Chain A
Protein backbone atom coordinates (compact mmCIF):
# COMPACT_ATOMS: atom_id res chain seq x y z
CA UNK A 1 0.00 0.00 0.00
CA UNK A 2 1.38 3.41 -0.87
CA UNK A 3 2.36 5.65 2.00
CA UNK A 4 0.68 8.93 2.93
CA UNK A 5 3.05 11.82 3.38
CA UNK A 6 2.37 15.42 4.30
CA UNK A 7 4.24 18.31 2.87
CA UNK A 8 5.55 20.60 5.57
CA UNK A 9 7.14 23.94 4.83
CA UNK A 10 9.57 24.04 6.49
CA UNK A 11 9.86 20.42 7.68
CA UNK A 12 10.15 21.59 11.28
CA UNK A 13 7.71 20.81 14.10
CA UNK A 14 7.63 21.37 17.85
CA UNK A 15 8.17 18.20 19.85
CA UNK A 16 5.04 16.96 21.58
CA UNK A 17 4.78 18.34 25.12
CA UNK A 18 6.62 21.51 24.13
CA UNK A 19 4.49 24.69 23.75
CA UNK A 20 1.54 22.29 23.87
CA UNK A 21 -1.55 24.45 23.40
CA UNK A 22 -3.30 25.81 20.35
CA UNK A 23 -3.34 29.37 21.66
CA UNK A 24 0.44 29.25 22.08
CA UNK A 25 0.77 28.13 18.45
CA UNK A 26 -1.56 30.94 17.32
CA UNK A 27 0.57 33.45 19.14
CA UNK A 28 3.76 32.08 17.53
CA UNK A 29 2.14 32.24 14.10
CA UNK A 30 1.33 35.89 14.77
CA UNK A 31 5.03 36.38 15.55
CA UNK A 32 5.81 34.69 12.19
CA UNK A 33 7.53 31.70 13.77
CA UNK A 34 7.92 29.47 10.75
CA UNK A 35 7.10 25.95 11.91
CA UNK A 36 5.74 23.53 9.28
CA UNK A 37 3.16 22.00 11.62
CA UNK A 38 2.15 22.10 15.27
CA UNK A 39 1.90 19.15 17.64
CA UNK A 40 -0.34 19.79 20.65
CA UNK A 41 0.10 18.04 23.98
CA UNK A 42 -0.62 14.32 23.74
CA UNK A 43 -4.35 13.62 24.10
CA UNK A 44 -5.46 10.62 26.14
CA UNK A 45 -8.72 8.81 26.76
CA UNK A 46 -9.39 10.46 30.12
CA UNK A 47 -8.44 13.55 32.10
CA UNK A 48 -5.13 13.06 33.89
CA UNK A 49 -3.31 15.29 36.39
CA UNK A 50 0.22 14.12 35.68
CA UNK A 51 2.90 14.52 38.31
CA UNK A 52 3.06 17.42 40.74
CA UNK A 53 5.98 19.86 40.52
CA UNK A 54 8.90 19.74 40.14
CA UNK A 55 8.15 18.28 36.73
CA UNK A 56 11.41 19.39 35.10
CA UNK A 57 15.04 19.62 36.06
CA UNK A 58 17.75 21.15 33.91
CA UNK A 59 21.34 20.62 35.04
CA UNK A 60 22.92 22.67 32.27
CA UNK A 61 23.46 19.83 29.83
CA UNK A 62 20.40 17.60 30.08
CA UNK A 63 16.75 18.32 30.76
CA UNK A 64 14.75 15.80 32.75
CA UNK A 65 10.97 15.91 32.62
CA UNK A 66 8.35 13.89 34.41
CA UNK A 67 5.10 15.56 33.40
CA UNK A 68 3.63 12.05 32.98
CA UNK A 69 1.05 12.94 30.32
CA UNK A 70 -1.25 15.43 31.98
CA UNK A 71 -4.25 16.01 29.75
CA UNK A 72 -7.70 17.46 29.93
CA UNK A 73 -10.81 15.75 28.63
CA UNK A 74 -11.45 15.03 24.95
CA UNK A 75 -14.52 17.27 25.16
CA UNK A 76 -12.48 20.22 26.33
CA UNK A 77 -9.87 19.52 23.64
CA UNK A 78 -12.64 19.61 21.03
CA UNK A 79 -13.69 23.00 22.39
CA UNK A 80 -10.14 24.28 21.93
CA UNK A 81 -9.89 22.87 18.40
CA UNK A 82 -13.24 24.42 17.48
CA UNK A 83 -12.11 27.89 18.53
CA UNK A 84 -8.55 27.65 17.16
CA UNK A 85 -7.44 29.71 14.21
CA UNK A 86 -4.21 28.22 12.86
CA UNK A 87 -2.71 28.54 9.41
CA UNK A 88 -0.32 25.62 9.72
CA UNK A 89 -1.49 21.99 9.94
CA UNK A 90 -1.83 20.28 13.29
CA UNK A 91 -0.41 16.83 13.96
CA UNK A 92 -2.40 15.17 16.75
CA UNK A 93 -0.59 13.16 19.39
CA UNK A 94 -2.44 10.38 21.18
CA UNK A 95 -1.61 8.23 24.20
CA UNK A 96 -3.53 5.43 25.82
CA UNK A 97 -3.35 2.67 28.35
CA UNK A 98 -4.96 0.07 26.12
CA UNK A 99 -5.44 -0.59 22.42
CA UNK A 100 -8.99 0.78 22.25
CA UNK A 101 -7.95 4.10 23.81
CA UNK A 102 -5.97 5.07 20.73
CA UNK A 103 -8.84 4.27 18.39
CA UNK A 104 -11.34 6.18 20.51
CA UNK A 105 -9.26 9.36 20.77
CA UNK A 106 -8.41 9.33 17.05
CA UNK A 107 -12.07 8.89 16.03
CA UNK A 108 -13.16 11.86 18.10
CA UNK A 109 -10.37 14.27 17.16
CA UNK A 110 -9.58 13.11 13.61
CA UNK A 111 -11.28 15.96 11.79
CA UNK A 112 -9.12 18.56 13.50
CA UNK A 113 -5.71 17.16 12.55
CA UNK A 114 -3.66 16.49 9.41
CA UNK A 115 -1.72 13.51 10.76
CA UNK A 116 -1.44 11.39 13.89
CA UNK A 117 1.59 10.82 16.04
CA UNK A 118 1.02 7.67 18.05
CA UNK A 119 2.71 8.01 21.41
CA UNK A 120 3.69 4.51 22.47
CA UNK A 121 6.92 5.55 24.11
CA UNK A 122 6.54 7.97 27.02
CA UNK A 123 9.01 6.86 29.72
CA UNK A 124 7.28 8.79 32.51
CA UNK A 125 4.72 7.75 35.06
CA UNK A 126 3.01 9.13 38.11
CA UNK A 127 4.03 7.89 41.54
CA UNK A 128 2.35 4.56 42.18
CA UNK A 129 1.20 4.33 38.59
CA UNK A 130 2.10 1.30 36.56
CA UNK A 131 4.35 2.36 33.74
CA UNK A 132 2.08 3.46 30.98
CA UNK A 133 4.31 2.69 28.09
CA UNK A 134 7.06 0.23 28.97
CA UNK A 135 4.51 -2.51 29.41
CA UNK A 136 3.18 -1.56 26.02
CA UNK A 137 6.24 -2.48 23.99
CA UNK A 138 4.85 -5.91 23.22
CA UNK A 139 1.57 -4.37 22.14
CA UNK A 140 2.84 -1.66 19.81
CA UNK A 141 2.06 -3.61 16.67
CA UNK A 142 -1.41 -4.45 17.98
CA UNK A 143 -2.04 -0.78 18.75
CA UNK A 144 -0.82 0.54 15.41
CA UNK A 145 -2.14 -2.14 13.04
CA UNK A 146 -5.86 -1.35 13.26
CA UNK A 147 -5.54 2.44 13.24
CA UNK A 148 -5.89 2.68 9.46
CA UNK A 149 -9.52 1.64 9.99
CA UNK A 150 -10.21 4.81 11.98
CA UNK A 151 -8.17 7.43 10.13
CA UNK A 152 -7.10 8.18 6.61
CA UNK A 153 -4.49 10.65 7.86
CA UNK A 154 -0.77 9.83 7.85
CA UNK A 155 0.20 7.71 10.85
CA UNK A 156 3.43 8.42 12.72
CA UNK A 157 4.65 5.91 15.30
CA UNK A 158 6.75 7.65 17.94
CA UNK A 159 9.15 5.07 19.29
CA UNK A 160 11.38 4.99 22.32
CA UNK A 161 15.18 4.94 22.19
CA UNK A 162 14.98 2.82 25.34
CA UNK A 163 13.39 -0.24 23.72
CA UNK A 164 14.40 -2.57 20.91
CA UNK A 165 13.33 -0.01 18.34
CA UNK A 166 14.77 -1.97 15.42
CA UNK A 167 12.55 -4.94 16.15
CA UNK A 168 9.56 -2.68 16.76
CA UNK A 169 10.19 -0.71 13.56
CA UNK A 170 10.30 -3.95 11.57
CA UNK A 171 7.02 -5.09 13.07
CA UNK A 172 5.11 -1.89 12.23
CA UNK A 173 6.72 -0.64 9.07
CA UNK A 174 3.85 -1.96 6.94
CA UNK A 175 1.24 -0.05 8.95
CA UNK A 176 2.71 3.43 9.36
CA UNK A 177 3.69 6.34 7.14
CA UNK A 178 6.31 7.81 9.44
CA UNK A 179 8.38 6.72 12.39
CA UNK A 180 9.43 9.34 14.92
CA UNK A 181 12.84 8.78 16.53
CA UNK A 182 12.36 9.15 19.32
CA UNK A 183 10.86 9.92 22.66
CA UNK A 184 12.97 11.00 25.65
CA UNK A 185 15.85 8.85 26.79
CA UNK A 186 16.03 7.05 30.09
CA UNK A 187 14.34 7.86 32.38
CA UNK A 188 17.10 9.46 34.41
CA UNK A 189 17.37 10.42 38.05
CA UNK A 190 18.47 13.67 39.72
CA UNK A 191 18.83 14.06 43.49
CA UNK A 192 19.25 17.07 45.72
CA UNK A 193 22.09 16.88 48.22
CA UNK A 194 20.50 19.15 50.86
CA UNK A 195 17.13 17.43 51.10
CA UNK A 196 18.67 14.09 50.06
CA UNK A 197 15.55 13.52 47.99
CA UNK A 198 14.81 13.07 44.28
CA UNK A 199 14.27 16.43 42.58
CA UNK A 200 11.43 15.32 40.31
CA UNK A 201 8.17 14.62 42.12
CA UNK A 202 7.75 11.70 39.72
CA UNK A 203 11.16 10.37 40.91
CA UNK A 204 12.68 9.83 37.46
CA UNK A 205 12.21 11.64 34.16
CA UNK A 206 12.83 11.34 30.44
CA UNK A 207 16.05 13.00 29.30
CA UNK A 208 16.27 15.45 26.41
CA UNK A 209 18.56 18.11 25.00
CA UNK A 210 21.79 18.34 23.05
CA UNK A 211 23.52 15.66 25.13
CA UNK A 212 21.19 12.92 23.86
CA UNK A 213 21.65 13.80 20.19
CA UNK A 214 24.21 11.08 19.34
CA UNK A 215 21.85 8.41 20.69
CA UNK A 216 18.92 9.80 18.69
CA UNK A 217 21.14 10.08 15.59
CA UNK A 218 21.99 6.40 15.86
CA UNK A 219 18.33 5.56 16.32
CA UNK A 220 17.38 7.56 13.21
CA UNK A 221 20.01 5.82 11.15
CA UNK A 222 19.18 2.32 12.44
CA UNK A 223 15.48 2.82 11.74
CA UNK A 224 16.16 4.45 8.36
CA UNK A 225 17.74 1.23 7.12
CA UNK A 226 14.40 -0.53 7.75
CA UNK A 227 11.94 2.26 7.01
CA UNK A 228 13.37 3.57 3.76
CA UNK A 229 12.72 0.25 1.98
CA UNK A 230 9.01 0.71 2.61
CA UNK A 231 8.91 4.45 1.87
CA UNK A 232 8.33 5.18 5.55
CA UNK A 233 9.82 8.59 6.41
CA UNK A 234 11.40 9.62 9.68
CA UNK A 235 10.92 12.45 12.14
CA UNK A 236 14.00 13.23 14.21
CA UNK A 237 13.80 14.45 17.81
CA UNK A 238 16.73 14.93 20.12
CA UNK A 239 18.79 18.01 20.86
CA UNK A 240 18.21 19.96 17.66
CA UNK A 241 19.52 23.41 18.52
CA UNK A 242 21.31 24.69 15.40
CA UNK A 243 21.02 24.43 11.63
CA UNK A 244 23.80 21.86 11.40
CA UNK A 245 21.78 19.49 13.59
CA UNK A 246 19.00 19.43 11.00
CA UNK A 247 21.46 18.53 8.28
CA UNK A 248 23.12 15.86 10.39
CA UNK A 249 19.77 14.22 11.10
CA UNK A 250 18.86 14.47 7.40
CA UNK A 251 22.10 12.77 6.41
CA UNK A 252 21.29 10.01 8.94
CA UNK A 253 17.85 9.58 7.36
CA UNK A 254 15.26 12.00 8.79
CA UNK A 255 12.87 14.13 6.70
CA UNK A 256 11.13 16.10 9.46
CA UNK A 257 12.78 17.73 12.46
CA UNK A 258 11.31 18.29 15.90
CA UNK A 259 12.47 21.02 18.25
CA UNK A 260 11.97 20.89 21.98
CA UNK A 261 14.47 21.51 24.73
CA UNK A 262 16.40 24.14 22.76
CA UNK A 263 13.41 26.50 23.08
CA UNK A 264 14.16 26.84 26.78
CA UNK A 265 14.09 30.43 28.09
CA UNK A 266 12.90 31.79 24.72
CA UNK A 267 9.99 34.19 24.60
CA UNK A 268 7.74 34.25 21.52
CA UNK A 269 9.98 36.61 19.56
CA UNK A 270 13.07 34.60 20.36
CA UNK A 271 11.38 31.33 19.35
CA UNK A 272 10.48 32.87 15.98
CA UNK A 273 13.98 34.19 15.38
CA UNK A 274 15.56 30.92 16.45
CA UNK A 275 13.54 28.63 14.20
CA UNK A 276 13.47 30.99 11.23
CA UNK A 277 17.23 31.51 11.26
CA UNK A 278 17.83 27.81 11.63
CA UNK A 279 15.89 27.01 8.47
CA UNK A 280 17.35 29.97 6.58
CA UNK A 281 20.84 28.64 7.30
CA UNK A 282 19.86 25.15 6.12
CA UNK A 283 18.67 26.65 2.81
CA UNK A 284 21.92 28.62 2.51
CA UNK A 285 23.88 25.41 2.93
CA UNK A 286 21.79 23.67 0.28
CA UNK A 287 22.42 26.46 -2.18
CA UNK A 288 26.13 26.63 -1.43
CA UNK A 289 26.61 22.88 -1.63
CA UNK A 290 24.48 22.75 -4.77
CA UNK A 291 22.49 19.77 -3.55
CA UNK A 292 18.77 19.21 -2.98
CA UNK A 293 17.36 18.41 0.43
CA UNK A 294 15.97 15.11 -0.86
CA UNK A 295 19.44 14.09 -1.96
CA UNK A 296 20.74 14.66 1.54
CA UNK A 297 18.10 12.60 3.32
CA UNK A 298 19.60 9.24 4.17
CA UNK A 299 22.71 9.80 2.05
CA UNK A 300 24.83 8.24 4.79
CA UNK A 301 23.51 4.91 3.55
CA UNK A 302 24.26 5.68 -0.06
Chain B
Protein backbone atom coordinates (compact mmCIF):
# COMPACT_ATOMS: atom_id res chain seq x y z
CA UNK B 1 0.00 0.00 0.00
CA UNK B 2 1.17 3.45 -0.89
CA UNK B 3 1.80 5.86 1.98
CA UNK B 4 3.00 8.79 -0.08
CA UNK B 5 1.18 12.09 0.24
CA UNK B 6 -1.12 13.09 -2.58
CA UNK B 7 -1.18 16.86 -2.88
CA UNK B 8 -4.69 17.85 -3.92
CA UNK B 9 -6.16 21.20 -4.91
CA UNK B 10 -9.39 22.29 -3.24
CA UNK B 11 -11.92 22.95 -5.99
CA UNK B 12 -14.95 23.67 -3.81
CA UNK B 13 -15.72 24.34 -0.15
CA UNK B 14 -19.19 23.75 1.32
CA UNK B 15 -19.78 25.69 4.52
CA UNK B 16 -22.51 23.73 6.32
CA UNK B 17 -22.53 25.86 9.44
CA UNK B 18 -19.93 27.61 11.59
CA UNK B 19 -18.29 24.39 12.73
CA UNK B 20 -18.53 22.06 9.70
CA UNK B 21 -17.03 22.42 6.24
CA UNK B 22 -16.66 20.01 3.32
CA UNK B 23 -13.62 20.25 1.08
CA UNK B 24 -13.92 18.85 -2.43
CA UNK B 25 -10.70 18.35 -4.36
CA UNK B 26 -9.47 17.87 -7.89
CA UNK B 27 -8.53 14.25 -7.37
CA UNK B 28 -10.62 11.22 -6.59
CA UNK B 29 -9.42 8.35 -4.40
CA UNK B 30 -11.18 5.66 -6.43
CA UNK B 31 -10.27 2.73 -4.21
CA UNK B 32 -11.65 4.23 -1.00
CA UNK B 33 -14.35 2.33 0.94
CA UNK B 34 -16.88 4.36 2.94
CA UNK B 35 -15.78 4.49 6.58
CA UNK B 36 -12.10 4.64 5.66
CA UNK B 37 -10.06 7.73 6.46
CA UNK B 38 -7.10 9.71 5.19
CA UNK B 39 -4.31 11.28 7.19
CA UNK B 40 -4.73 14.93 6.21
CA UNK B 41 -1.60 17.04 6.48
CA UNK B 42 -1.19 20.79 6.50
CA UNK B 43 2.55 21.38 6.26
CA UNK B 44 3.89 23.25 9.26
CA UNK B 45 0.64 22.71 11.19
CA UNK B 46 -0.33 19.09 11.94
CA UNK B 47 -1.79 15.93 10.47
CA UNK B 48 -5.11 14.34 11.51
CA UNK B 49 -7.28 11.38 10.51
CA UNK B 50 -10.39 12.52 8.63
CA UNK B 51 -13.08 10.29 7.08
CA UNK B 52 -13.93 10.56 3.42
CA UNK B 53 -17.41 11.90 2.68
CA UNK B 54 -16.93 11.00 -1.03
CA UNK B 55 -13.94 9.66 -2.98
CA UNK B 56 -12.90 13.28 -3.67
CA UNK B 57 -14.16 14.93 -0.51
CA UNK B 58 -13.63 15.22 3.26
CA UNK B 59 -15.78 16.88 5.88
CA UNK B 60 -14.09 18.58 8.82
CA UNK B 61 -15.48 19.67 12.15
CA UNK B 62 -13.75 22.62 13.80
CA UNK B 63 -12.48 21.32 17.14
CA UNK B 64 -8.89 22.48 17.57
CA UNK B 65 -5.88 24.31 16.11
CA UNK B 66 -5.53 22.00 13.11
CA UNK B 67 -9.16 22.17 12.05
CA UNK B 68 -9.20 25.94 12.64
CA UNK B 69 -6.32 26.27 10.19
CA UNK B 70 -8.11 24.14 7.62
CA UNK B 71 -11.15 26.42 7.98
CA UNK B 72 -8.98 29.28 6.70
CA UNK B 73 -8.28 27.43 3.46
CA UNK B 74 -9.77 28.81 0.24
CA UNK B 75 -10.75 27.23 -3.03
CA UNK B 76 -7.54 26.72 -5.03
CA UNK B 77 -5.48 25.99 -1.89
CA UNK B 78 -3.71 22.68 -1.42
CA UNK B 79 -4.23 19.80 1.01
CA UNK B 80 -2.02 16.74 1.51
CA UNK B 81 -3.53 13.30 2.06
CA UNK B 82 -2.15 9.83 2.62
CA UNK B 83 -4.39 6.80 2.63
CA UNK B 84 -7.09 5.59 2.39
CA UNK B 85 -6.58 3.68 5.63
CA UNK B 86 -8.47 1.29 7.87
CA UNK B 87 -11.51 -0.89 7.56
CA UNK B 88 -14.74 0.62 6.26
CA UNK B 89 -18.33 -0.59 6.17
CA UNK B 90 -18.20 -3.73 4.08
CA UNK B 91 -20.80 -6.33 5.01
CA UNK B 92 -23.51 -6.29 2.38
CA UNK B 93 -25.29 -9.57 2.97
CA UNK B 94 -28.31 -7.66 4.20
CA UNK B 95 -29.77 -4.22 3.47
CA UNK B 96 -28.79 -1.43 5.82
CA UNK B 97 -30.33 0.94 8.28
CA UNK B 98 -28.08 3.97 8.66
CA UNK B 99 -27.81 6.08 11.82
CA UNK B 100 -25.82 9.31 11.77
CA UNK B 101 -25.24 11.98 14.36
CA UNK B 102 -23.27 15.21 14.17
CA UNK B 103 -20.18 15.07 11.95
CA UNK B 104 -20.67 11.29 11.69
CA UNK B 105 -23.30 12.02 9.06
CA UNK B 106 -20.56 12.85 6.53
CA UNK B 107 -18.98 9.40 6.03
CA UNK B 108 -22.47 7.86 6.03
CA UNK B 109 -23.49 10.10 3.13
CA UNK B 110 -20.65 8.45 1.19
CA UNK B 111 -21.77 5.00 2.35
CA UNK B 112 -25.36 5.64 1.28
CA UNK B 113 -24.43 7.12 -2.11
CA UNK B 114 -22.21 4.19 -2.91
CA UNK B 115 -24.69 1.51 -1.80
CA UNK B 116 -28.00 3.20 -2.51
CA UNK B 117 -29.83 0.03 -3.53
CA UNK B 118 -28.90 -1.58 -0.20
CA UNK B 119 -30.29 1.19 2.02
CA UNK B 120 -33.61 0.57 3.76
CA UNK B 121 -33.84 3.52 6.10
CA UNK B 122 -31.86 6.57 7.29
CA UNK B 123 -31.93 8.07 10.76
CA UNK B 124 -30.20 11.38 11.42
CA UNK B 125 -29.98 13.09 14.79
CA UNK B 126 -28.67 16.61 15.47
CA UNK B 127 -29.09 19.51 17.84
CA UNK B 128 -30.70 21.78 15.28
CA UNK B 129 -31.59 21.98 11.57
CA UNK B 130 -28.33 23.74 10.68
CA UNK B 131 -26.35 20.83 12.15
CA UNK B 132 -27.87 18.32 9.74
CA UNK B 133 -25.05 18.10 7.19
CA UNK B 134 -26.08 17.53 3.57
CA UNK B 135 -29.78 17.90 4.51
CA UNK B 136 -30.91 18.74 0.95
CA UNK B 137 -28.94 15.80 -0.47
CA UNK B 138 -30.52 13.41 1.98
CA UNK B 139 -34.06 14.63 1.25
CA UNK B 140 -33.46 14.32 -2.48
CA UNK B 141 -31.90 10.86 -2.40
CA UNK B 142 -34.57 9.55 -0.02
CA UNK B 143 -37.32 10.73 -2.39
CA UNK B 144 -35.64 9.47 -5.54
CA UNK B 145 -34.81 6.05 -4.13
CA UNK B 146 -37.79 5.43 -1.91
CA UNK B 147 -35.73 5.34 1.28
CA UNK B 148 -37.28 6.17 4.64
CA UNK B 149 -35.68 9.29 6.11
CA UNK B 150 -36.14 10.04 9.81
CA UNK B 151 -34.61 13.26 11.07
CA UNK B 152 -34.59 14.23 14.73
CA UNK B 153 -33.53 17.63 16.06
CA UNK B 154 -33.25 18.34 19.76
CA UNK B 155 -34.77 21.81 19.35
CA UNK B 156 -37.47 20.68 16.95
CA UNK B 157 -36.28 23.05 14.20
CA UNK B 158 -36.58 20.27 11.61
CA UNK B 159 -38.11 16.80 11.48
CA UNK B 160 -39.21 15.28 14.73
CA UNK B 161 -38.30 16.94 17.99
CA UNK B 162 -36.17 14.69 20.14
CA UNK B 163 -33.20 12.35 20.08
CA UNK B 164 -32.31 9.88 17.36
CA UNK B 165 -33.30 7.01 19.65
CA UNK B 166 -36.83 8.38 20.13
CA UNK B 167 -38.35 5.93 17.71
CA UNK B 168 -40.86 3.13 18.19
CA UNK B 169 -39.50 1.14 15.28
CA UNK B 170 -38.76 -2.51 15.98
CA UNK B 171 -35.40 -3.51 14.55
CA UNK B 172 -35.06 -6.91 12.96
CA UNK B 173 -32.11 -9.16 12.20
CA UNK B 174 -33.09 -9.09 8.54
CA UNK B 175 -30.99 -5.90 8.31
CA UNK B 176 -27.51 -4.59 8.99
CA UNK B 177 -27.02 -1.33 10.86
CA UNK B 178 -24.37 1.33 10.19
CA UNK B 179 -23.86 3.84 12.98
CA UNK B 180 -21.54 6.86 12.99
CA UNK B 181 -21.42 9.80 15.36
CA UNK B 182 -20.32 10.79 18.86
CA UNK B 183 -19.42 7.73 20.98
CA UNK B 184 -22.30 8.16 23.42
CA UNK B 185 -24.74 8.43 20.56
CA UNK B 186 -23.27 5.24 19.07
CA UNK B 187 -23.86 3.46 22.35
CA UNK B 188 -27.40 4.74 22.74
CA UNK B 189 -28.36 3.82 19.18
CA UNK B 190 -26.59 0.45 19.02
CA UNK B 191 -27.99 -0.61 22.41
CA UNK B 192 -31.47 0.35 21.24
CA UNK B 193 -31.09 -1.66 18.00
CA UNK B 194 -29.83 -4.54 20.13
CA UNK B 195 -28.53 -6.70 17.28
CA UNK B 196 -24.80 -6.16 17.95
CA UNK B 197 -23.41 -8.73 15.51
CA UNK B 198 -25.14 -6.91 12.64
CA UNK B 199 -24.37 -3.39 13.81
CA UNK B 200 -21.24 -1.62 12.56
CA UNK B 201 -19.92 1.43 14.35
CA UNK B 202 -17.06 3.83 13.70
CA UNK B 203 -14.59 4.65 16.49
CA UNK B 204 -12.22 7.63 16.73
CA UNK B 205 -8.98 7.85 18.70
CA UNK B 206 -5.84 10.02 18.66
CA UNK B 207 -3.73 8.79 15.78
CA UNK B 208 -0.08 9.14 14.87
CA UNK B 209 1.23 6.64 12.32
CA UNK B 210 -2.19 5.44 11.03
CA UNK B 211 -0.52 2.28 9.65
CA UNK B 212 -0.68 -0.02 12.67
CA UNK B 213 2.80 0.55 14.03
CA UNK B 214 2.84 2.97 16.96
CA UNK B 215 -0.14 1.75 18.98
CA UNK B 216 -1.21 5.24 20.04
CA UNK B 217 -4.78 4.77 18.77
CA UNK B 218 -5.24 1.63 20.89
CA UNK B 219 -8.88 1.21 21.89
CA UNK B 220 -8.76 -1.52 24.54
CA UNK B 221 -5.95 -3.09 22.51
CA UNK B 222 -7.61 -2.74 19.13
CA UNK B 223 -5.56 -0.41 16.93
CA UNK B 224 -8.26 1.79 15.45
CA UNK B 225 -6.16 2.57 12.36
CA UNK B 226 -5.87 -1.06 11.17
CA UNK B 227 -8.41 -3.07 13.20
CA UNK B 228 -10.99 -0.28 12.67
CA UNK B 229 -12.17 2.44 12.51
CA UNK B 230 -15.34 0.51 11.63
CA UNK B 231 -15.96 -2.35 14.07
CA UNK B 232 -18.76 -4.78 14.71
CA UNK B 233 -20.67 -3.61 17.78
CA UNK B 234 -20.41 -7.15 19.06
CA UNK B 235 -16.71 -6.39 19.70
CA UNK B 236 -17.09 -2.78 20.81
CA UNK B 237 -19.93 -3.10 23.30
CA UNK B 238 -17.90 -4.92 25.95
CA UNK B 239 -14.59 -3.11 25.57
CA UNK B 240 -13.58 -1.21 28.72
CA UNK B 241 -12.46 1.86 26.76
CA UNK B 242 -15.78 2.27 24.96
CA UNK B 243 -17.37 5.56 26.08
CA UNK B 244 -14.78 5.61 28.84
CA UNK B 245 -11.10 6.01 27.92
CA UNK B 246 -8.85 7.34 25.20
CA UNK B 247 -5.09 7.70 24.80
CA UNK B 248 -3.64 11.21 24.52
CA UNK B 249 -0.63 12.25 22.45
CA UNK B 250 1.72 11.03 25.21
CA UNK B 251 -0.05 7.67 25.14
CA UNK B 252 -1.63 8.23 28.55
CA UNK B 253 -5.02 6.66 29.14
CA UNK B 254 -7.47 9.32 30.28
CA UNK B 255 -11.20 9.43 30.88
CA UNK B 256 -13.32 10.68 27.98
Which of A's residues lie within 8 Å of B, judged by CB? 17-21, 23-28, 30, 41, 47-50, 52-60, 63, 65, 67, 70-73, 76, 79-80, 192, 194-195, 197, 199, 201, 260-261, 263-268, 271
Q: Nearest Cβ distance between residue B254 and chain A, in whole angstroms?
A: 9
* CB within 8 Å for A23 and B212 given contacts A49-B249, A194-B7: no
Overall SS of chain A's interface: loop
A195 in contact with B247 (CB, 8 Å): no
Q: A27-B222, A192-B5 are in contact. Are A267 and B253 (CB under 8 A)?
A: no
Contact in complex: A80, B253 (CB < 8 Å): yes
Instruction: Jot down 19 A-B pairs with beta carbons below 8 A, ordered by A.
Output: A21-B218, A21-B247, A24-B215, A24-B223, A25-B221, A30-B221, A50-B249, A56-B211, A56-B214, A60-B4, A67-B208, A70-B250, A71-B250, A73-B252, A192-B80, A194-B80, A195-B44, A265-B211, A267-B223
What's the Cα separation between A17 and B251 when bound, in Å? 11
Q: Which residues of A contact B251 (CB under 8 A)?
A: 20-21, 41, 70-72
* Contact B221–A48 (Cβ < 8 Å): no
Is the beta-carbon distance between B80 and A265 smaller than 8 angstroms? Answer: no
Q: How far is the CA of A247 from the CA of B249 in the complex (A)?
A: 37
Most buried by A among B7, B46, B215, B248: B215
Query: Residue among B4, B39, B211, B214 with the most chain A CB within 10 A?
Result: B214
Knowing A19-B215, A41-B251, A195-B43, say if A268 contacts B209 (CB, 8 Å): no
- The complex places the Cα of A70 from the Cα of B227 at a distance, in Å, of 23
**Interface assignment of B220: CB less than 8 Å from any CB of chain A:** yes
Q: Does B256 contact A (CB under 8 A)?
A: no
CB pair B5 A199 closer than 8 Å: yes
Q: Which residues of B contact A72 (CB under 8 A)?
A: 248, 250-253
Query: What A residues does B127 contact at CB under 8 A?
Result: none
User: For residue B249, which residue of chain A has the nearest CB?
Assistant: A49
Q: Give A215 Cβ to nearest chain B Cβ, in Å.
A: 20
A49 partner residues in chain B, CB cutoff 8 A: 249-250
Cβ contact within 8 Å between A56 and B250? no
With a CB–CB cut-off of 8 A, which chain A residues contact B215? Answer: 18-21, 24, 41
Residues of B within 8 A of A47 (CB): 250, 252
User: Within the complex, what minimum Cβ distance (angstroms) separates A81 from chain B?
Assistant: 12
B85 and chain A: residue at smallest CB distance: A265
A13 vs B12: C-alpha distance when bound (angstroms): 48
Assembled-state Cα–Cα distance A71/B215 (Å): 12
Residues of A within 8 A of B212 (CB): 263-267, 271
| Chain B 68-81 per-residue mask, 1 if CB under 8 angstroms from chain A, else 0 | 00000000001010
Q: Which residues of A contact B48 (CB under 8 A)?
A: 53
User: Is there an interface contact between A57 and B250, defined as CB atoms closer than 8 Å?
Assistant: no
Q: Which residues of A contact B41 (CB under 8 A)?
A: 53-54, 199
Q: How far is the CB of B213 from chain A (nearest CB, A)?
A: 5
